[in-house]
Structure 1
Amino acid sequence: MLRATDPLPTRPRRVVVAGVSGVGKTTLARRIARVLGIPHTEIDALFHGPDWTPRPDFLNDARALAAQTAWVTEWQYSEARPLLTARADLLVWLDLPFATVTLPRVIGRTLRRRLRRERLWNGNVEPSLLTFFTDREHIVRWSISTRNNYRERIPSLRADLPVVRLRRVSDVERWLAGPLSDVSR
């Protein structure tokens, strides 16, 4: 497991960003894509169809994404994780403190999206805030209930896949400006 200051073994061309819902995977994936000059595909856009239904072509789209020579995406959805992991040459684990960073981020993002009625993938909008109490899979509840899953999943990945674990917001900035920028030159 690499830290924020450890050099990368090679210049990555296929990168997955892992972490609990709301931690900032998509934001970091976009930033990594910019630094490396490779495309970012938001996996939520491939997964969610209208009315929050899974798109029937999701797995085919995930396979097509994984087959490309260069990409950055989020490491989500149990069906897609093995496809992405098999082709990735770097996994970035965004493992920020839950109570002080991730939980406030997921709550703030959810409130902002709902109050502004922001259009997300395929015309979806965040549901009523009351669904926090009624929907077991509400994004905030999901983030809370799955917050420790990555501590089990990531150590069991293929041994030859480099993993960078970023544990503080300052680690993210240090890694982007240091080891990632170093290999992109």
Structure 2
Amino acid sequence: MSAPRRILVYGVYGAGKTTLAQQLAGRLGLPWYPVDDQLWLPGWVEVPVEQQRSRIEAICRRDTWILDGAYHGWRDVPLARADLVVGLDYPRWLSFWRLLRRTMRRLVTGEVICNGNRESLGSVLSRDSILLWHVGAFGRARRRMRAWQSDPAVPPVLLFQSPAALDAWLAGLPSAAAGLPPDRPAQNAG
């Protein structure tokens, strides 16, 4: 396999998709397009799904990109163009803990997330809480990643079941996009 030029990072909320996408962009010299910037307008107004799809299609027509997620109305778009899918298939407790810790930090610091948006106590305690989304989405995300890995119609999928396994893989990546495994892995990484 030649060095990937189009990478989809996938996992449940809180797994570390954005952090990994940033690391890969820096390491491989590829442009990263934060998915949340494509989905949310200021004031947490959701971009209509048709417009989300159009935005993602425009990104995926480019020669190089990294996306840090893929959602229901347009998941097929990056899958059809990606050279590599990197799946963060961590245990539920780990991704939930990371999400809880990140959410609490954002509440305390008022950190800007995307397009000027911030998390609030009201949003965390609402029916649309990202913490509840994690609980509902975890099993689906895991099944989806694992199905992709065994589907020859999908680009190669590297699944990492621990941060240590991911770190070891990242450490082995030379700068400027070289050194990825030549074939689809037969086993999960980690």
* Class of the TM-score when normalised by the shorter of the 2 chains: 0.7 to 0.9
Question: Does residue 1:70 correspond to 2:64, yes or no?
Answer: yes
Matches within 5 A, 1:123-162: 123-128=116-121, 130-133=122-125, 135-157=126-148, 159-160=152-153, 161-162=155-156
**How far did residue 75 of structure 1 move?**
2.4
Q: What TM-score results when the alignment is normalised by the length of structure 1?
A: 0.85
Secondary structure of residue in 1 paired with 2:101: helix
8 Å CA contact retained: 2:8, 2:68: yes
CA RMSD of aligned residues (A): 1.8
| Kept after mapping to 2: 8 A contact 1:75/1:84 | no
Distance in 2 separating the partners of 1:173 and 1:28: 10
> Matched residues in 1 for 2:4 and 2:82: separation?
8
* Partner AA of 1:50 in structure 2: P
User: Which one scores higher on RCO, CA 8 angstroms, separation ≥ 6?
Assistant: 1
CA distance in 1: counterparts of 2:98 and 2:178, whole angstroms: 29
Which runs of no fewer than 5 residues in structure 2 stay unpaired? 180-190
SS of residue matched to 2:43: helix
- Find out whether 1:38 has 2:38 as its counterpart: no
Give distance in 2, aligned partners of 1:13 and 1:41: 13
User: C-alpha displacement at 1:155, in angstroms?
Assistant: 4.0
Aligned residue for 2:45?
Answer: 53
Q: How far did residue 149 of structure 1 move?
A: 1.0
Q: When you count helix as a share of all residues, which structure comes out higher?
A: 1
> How many equivalent pairs are there?
173
The alpha-carbon deviation at position 138 of structure 1 amounts to 0.5
Letter in 2 for 1:103: F
Question: Identity of aligned pairs, percent?
Answer: 32
TM normalised by structure 2 equals: 0.83
SS at match of 1:17: strand
Distance in 2 (alpha carbons) for counterparts of 1:184 and 1:36: 8
Please state whether the residue corresponding to 2:32 is helix, strand or coil. Answer: coil
